[in-house]
Amino acid sequence: MAISTINLQPSTWEYGVFLSFRGEDSFKNFTGHLYSALCNASIRTFIDEEELRKGESLAPELTRAIQNSRVSMIVFSKNYASSRWCLDELLQILQCREKGKQLVYPIFYDVEPSEVRNQSGNYGIALAKHEERFGRSDKIQNWRDALTKVANISGWDLQGPMNGYESKLIDEIVQDVLRIVSPRIMPVAKHVVGLESRVDDVLQFNYGTNNNDVRMIGIYGMGGIGKSTLAKALYNKLLGYFERSYFLEISSEILETKKLQEELLSKLLNKRKIEVGSEGEGKMLIKYWLQAKKCLIVLDNLEHRNQFEALCGERDWFGKGSTLILTTRDAHVLKELNKGECYEAKTLVHEESLQLFRLHAFREPTLPKEDYAEVLDRILAYCEGLPLALEVLGSYLSGRSMEEWISAFEKLRKIPHNDVQAKLKISYEGLPDDHTKSLFLDLVCFYGEISEETFNAMGYFSTIEIRNLVDKCLISPWYYSMHSLIREMGREIIRSESPNKPGERSRLWCPSDIHDVLIQQKGTEKIEMIVLNSPMKNMEYKYNTKAFKDMKNLRFLQIDGIHLEGNFKHLPRNVLRFLRWNQCPLKYIPSAYSFERLVKLEMWESNIKEFGVPLKYFQCLEALDLGWCHYLTRTPDFSGAKNLRTLSFWGCSSLEKVHSSIGDLRMLVELDLSCCERLKKIPKKFWHWQLRSVEDPSSSVCYSSKIKELGENSGMLTSLRRLVLSGTNIHFLPYNTSHLLKPAKSISNLRSFFQNNHLKLIQQFPPNIEHISLRNCKNLKMLPQLPQNLLSLCAINCESLETVHLPKMLKIVNLTNCKKLKEIQGWENAQFLRIITLRGVPNIKFSENINQVGFKSFHVEFPY
């Protein structure tokens, strides 16, 4: 069934059935009755009554009839093999079958299948006589092979379950043929956009392999994205090529998998009722009845793994060439499928969204004369390419005036449409536990990306719970982004907790709601999160800390720019895990500012001059970020902060002193001191190695640290994984610094940045490092052998760099403006290289082995 052979296009068949038989054996009884029954069922059937069987080969009319029939039926009778014309018909029929253009069914009439398969009895005698006449030729062997192949195809045996009753067998044959030549087409939505290209994408991906494979096509994505529509289109396009087909729409109301097994078997086998005693028995029945049948099955809306396991758990349950199409909101359901068998349904692009909305709103693909453009753009942005939303809102706004459109859209921004919400909410309700649901409701309070540090600070088992949200298509694995309507659905769940009293809800994100709760001091113990994503109108208003005294369960607080006054003891110090207070107006942190459970503290661009509270009062603190606090002159006392892992003072231009207790931070993984212009030294206790820098007055670096010494051999920080020294004047990075950055075996995504400095020599990189950035290291002349696991190398503006050797796993290389670069070596190893940028590299030469790689498989930007 390769695409190149049949192109999977609907075909117009001249005949529904071609009957191949030996006239003198069966035409006056069984075959004649079968022919009449097929005709009475309006199935156009070709039968030649041996009028065309003359000469040495098949007549052209007979060959054309075989090639233009949807189904060929071979009635094997006692003397079938004695006719050379029958055997030639058989060869022609098999040729059509092997090209994927025809379904073939054997009917064993008054003969055992084994007699045909093994050419014994009458069939053996007939073939022997042919050999006497023609000799042991290839033709005779082809006849033998054809008989064996067809006898192994699932068909009908008169002496089997029918026990010799011809009328019952004929009725079953007619019903089965009707399903093939007159299949049940699934209705697809009246207005569809972009569907054909998506169908082609799926088919091109899945129909280029062996015809006999049992294929599974998994389609996953968020609710309302068009999974069922795509499955219906695929089903309609494919069903003409299968013996049995059924589209099973799985309802959330049917919880018993055995009920689904009963429906699937009853429809595929054309039985009124098949009873299944248990799920295990259902599995055995599916295998027993379907393993010899070529089936097309759609399982639409699989919700749980047990449904997958009960309905299609093993491929050998189905006949060769069978195809199963599975749709789900939960990608985890498809974990048994091969990577190439899973297709993620995509949202519509802008032009497709516009076309679909027009068809529903205006009943035509063009806009009316009235200018709807401005509000239409807002609606399209709101829907973000989700077909369900475009259809529902388009139909809802159809026939309404411009004023009604504007009013309806303003309402939607506050109260989402019920039809859209109900569809999207199914994925939320299908989450495995309340803990994961709580994480999802936390995430809908944010806009944009969310860092892993933030996840961890919330107190969840973030790795597995994030995986559950990704599998349910509620968030994207890329930067954990979220569709705006998914976010609206989650926020509506929170709003419905208390529609008219924000202080009674579990989470607050709306600036006006936050303002009302704080100014009127209406916070309650139900509030768990406050996330201020955008500035309030009353940013200069001062709120009293008493507003927080009843928020006894507040664990996440983000209040950028807010002015708080009063006793900080009113804040929930025993519960709060995350505090982000960027643009904090306080100049000094009061002594009452201490939190026993706080995991992350972020105070960017604040007015703080001195962080007076020792961090021993923050024993759970793992991340402290005081970036761009331009008035900060000294770091906090780190004593007792035994769990601190990341520490950033990026851009603290007035910072002059680092507390000596920094050397006690045995868990510290990341330290960022970029652009700390006044910092002259770091405590010697911090380092077990010494670096000396040489200042260059001609340096064009905007932020150049005045650090001249980074300590001596007196301490050790073996936990450090990421060191950022942007804007420094480091002259030499010796060999024995590498172990400071050497990651533990469990840490794979290590990044190291040595930027805007005077680095001249690196003797060794950590062996497991994956990403290296060496921007603006203008004195760096050479690199050591790069680690074999390195994925990306960025050496922009390294003007003195002369040679680079590529390691095996490297994918991305950027060598822009490496003006003295002369040679790139190791092309024979770079099997995974996809992007290399060489702008501003005028004299580059490649090693002879470059021809082993070629540039066809990846993008290259040359200097010319």
Active-site residues, by number, are 89
Q: And the tokens for 123?
A: 């069939």
Q: What is the DSSP string of 565-587?
A: ES-GGGS-TTT--EEE-TT---S
State the number of CA atoms in the 13 A half-sphere of 779 facing the CB: 21
DSSP-assigned letter for residue 785: P
Q: Given strand 156-157, what is the order of strands in its sheet?
A: 45-46, 15-20, 69-76, 103-108, 156-157
Q: What is the DSSP string of 410-427?
A: HHHHHS--HHHHHHHHHH
State the number of CA atoms in the 13 A half-sphere of 494 facing the CB: 30
| CA angle at 745 for the pair 740 and 750, rounded to the nearest 5° | 55
22 Cα distance to chain centroid = 56
DSSP-assigned letter for residue 111: S
Helix (H, G, I), strand (E, B) or coil at 588: strand
Q: Which residue matches tokens 């960025």?
A: 794
State the number of CA atoms in the 13 A half-sphere of 844 facing the CB: 22
DSSP-assigned letter for residue 212: T
Phi, psi of 610 (to 5 degrees): -150, 130
Are 137 and 31 within 8 A, CB to CB?
no
Q: And the tokens for 733?
A: 């990075």
Q: Which of 98, 89, 140 has the alpha carbon at shortest distance from 119?
A: 140
Are 175 and 270 within 8 A, CB to CB?
yes
- 43 vs 433: CA distance, rounded Å: 54
Phi, psi of 666 (to 5 degrees): -70, -15
* Number of C-beta neighbours around residue 190 at 10 A: 8
Q: What is the DSSP string of 371-404?
A: --HHHHHHHHHHHTT-HHHHHHHHHHHTT--HHH
* Number of C-beta neighbours around residue 846 at 10 A: 12
- Cα–Cα distance list, 189 to 207, 226, 392 (Å): 25, 10, 13
Are 782 and 823 within 8 A, CB to CB?
no
Q: Which residues of 271-298 are buried (b: 16+ CB within 10 A; e: fewer)?
A: eeebebeebeebbebbeebbbebbbbbb
Q: Is the dihedral of CA 697, 698, 702, 705 positive or negative?
A: negative
834: Cβ–Cβ under 8 A, 6 or more apart, which residues? 811, 812, 857, 858, 859
Task: Give the CA diameter of the chain.
Answer: 112
Q: Is the dihedral of CA 457, 459, 465, 470 positive or negative?
A: negative
Q: Which residues of 60-85 are buried (b: 16+ CB within 10 A; e: fewer)?
A: eebbebbbbbbbbbbbbbbbbbbbbb
Are 548 and 571 within 8 A, CB to CB?
yes
- 770 vs 832: CA distance, rounded Å: 14
Q: Is the dihedral of CA 681, 684, 688, 689 positive or negative?
A: positive
Q: Which residue matches tokens 């010319």?
A: 864
493, amino acid identity: I
State the number of CA atoms in the 13 A half-sphere of 331 facing the CB: 22
Phi, psi of 241 (to 5 degrees): -105, 15
